[in-house]
A and B are shown apart, each in its own frame.
Chain A
Amino acid sequence: MYKLLPNDPIKNEPAKEIVRLSDNAHIPFDEANRDYQEYLEWVAEGNTPEPADE
Chain B
Amino acid sequence: MTRASQLSQVANTYSNRNLIINGAMQISQRGTSWSHAHDGTQWFYTIDRYEPYLRSTHSTLDGTWSQSTDAPNGFSNSLLWTTGTAESSINADDFFYVRTKLEGQTLQQLAYGTSSAKVSTISFWIKSSVAGTYGFSIYNQDSDRQVAIPYTINSANTWEKKTITIPADTTGSIDNDNNASFNFYWFIDAGSDFTTTSQSTWTTYSNSVFAGGHSQNGVATTSGATFAITGIQYEVGESATEFEHRPYTTELLLCQRYYNFYEGDNYSCVYSTSNCFTILDLPSEMRAVPTVGYSDRRAGASAYYFTSYNYKRRVQLLSAGITNGYVTNVTLDSEL
A binds B: yes
Residues of A within 8 A of B (CB): 5-6, 8-10, 15-17, 20, 23-28, 30, 32-36, 52-53
| Chain B 278-313 interface mask (CB, 8 Å, partner A; 1/0) | 000000000111111110000000111111101000
**Least distance between A29 CB and chain B CB atoms (Å):** 8
Please name all residues of chain A whose beta carbon is closer than 8 Å to the beta carbon of B252 when the two chains form the complex.
Answer: none
Kindly report which residue of chain B lies nearest to residue A35, judged by CB atoms.
Answer: B291
**Least distance between B172 CB and chain A CB atoms (Å):** 21
Please name all residues of chain A whose beta carbon is closer than 8 Å to the beta carbon of B305 when the two chains form the complex.
Answer: 5, 8, 15, 17, 26
Kindly report which residue of chain A lies nearest to residue B331, judged by CB atoms.
Answer: A25
Contact of B334 among A9, A20, A25, A33 (CB under 8 A): A33
Cα A20 to Cα B144 in complex, Å, equals 30
Q: How large is the interface on B (under 10, 10 to 19, 20 to 34, 35 or more residues)?
A: 20 to 34
Instruction: Determine whether the beta carbon of A35 is less than 8 Å from that of B303.
Output: no
Count A-B contacts at CB 8 Å: 71
Instruction: Determine whether the beta carbon of A9 is less than 8 Å from that of B303.
Output: yes
Instruction: Determine whether the beta carbon of A25 is less than 8 Å from that of B288.
Output: no
Contact of A16 among B271, B307, B334, B335 (CB under 8 A): B307
Determine the main DSSP class of B at the interface with A: loop
Residues of B within 8 A of A (CB): 178-179, 271-272, 274-275, 287-294, 302-308, 310, 318, 320-321, 333-336
Which among B272, B288, B308 has the highest number of chain A CB atoms within 10 Å? B308
Instruction: Determine whether the beta carbon of B178 is less than 8 Å from that of A32.
Output: yes
Kindly report which residue of chain B lies nearest to residue A11, judged by CB atoms.
Answer: B308
**Least distance between B296 CB and chain A CB atoms (Å):** 10
Cα A1 to Cα B305 in complex, Å, equals 18
Known: A16-B308, A23-B293, A35-B333. 6 other contacts (CB 8 A): A6-B302, A8-B305, A17-B305, A26-B304, A26-B305, A34-B336
Return 16 A-B CB contacts under 8 Å, by A number: A5-B303, A5-B305, A6-B302, A8-B318, A9-B274, A9-B275, A9-B303, A10-B318, A17-B306, A25-B292, A26-B307, A32-B287, A34-B336, A35-B291, A35-B333, A53-B303
Please name all residues of chain B whose beta carbon is closer than 8 Å to the beta carbon of A28 when the two chains form the complex.
Answer: 289-291, 307-308, 310
Please name all residues of chain B whose beta carbon is closer than 8 Å to the beta carbon of A32 when the two chains form the complex.
Answer: 178-179, 287-289, 334
**Least distance between B311 CB and chain A CB atoms (Å):** 9
Cα A24 to Cα B306 in complex, Å, equals 11
Instruction: Determine whether the beta carbon of B303 is less than 8 Å from that of A30.
Output: no
Please name all residues of chain A whose beta carbon is closer than 8 Å to the beta carbon of B272 when the two chains form the complex.
Answer: 10
Cα A34 to Cα B289 in complex, Å, equals 10
Please name all residues of chain B whose beta carbon is closer than 8 Å to the beta carbon of A5 when the two chains form the complex.
Answer: 303, 305
Contact of A10 among B178, B275, B293 (CB under 8 A): B275
Cα A7 to Cα B320 in complex, Å, equals 11
Instruction: Determine whether the beta carbon of B308 is less than 8 Å from that of A30.
Output: no
Instruction: Determine whether the beta carbon of A10 is less than 8 Å from that of B271.
Output: yes
Top 4 closest pairs, chain A to chain B, by CB: A32-B288, A28-B307, A26-B306, A30-B289
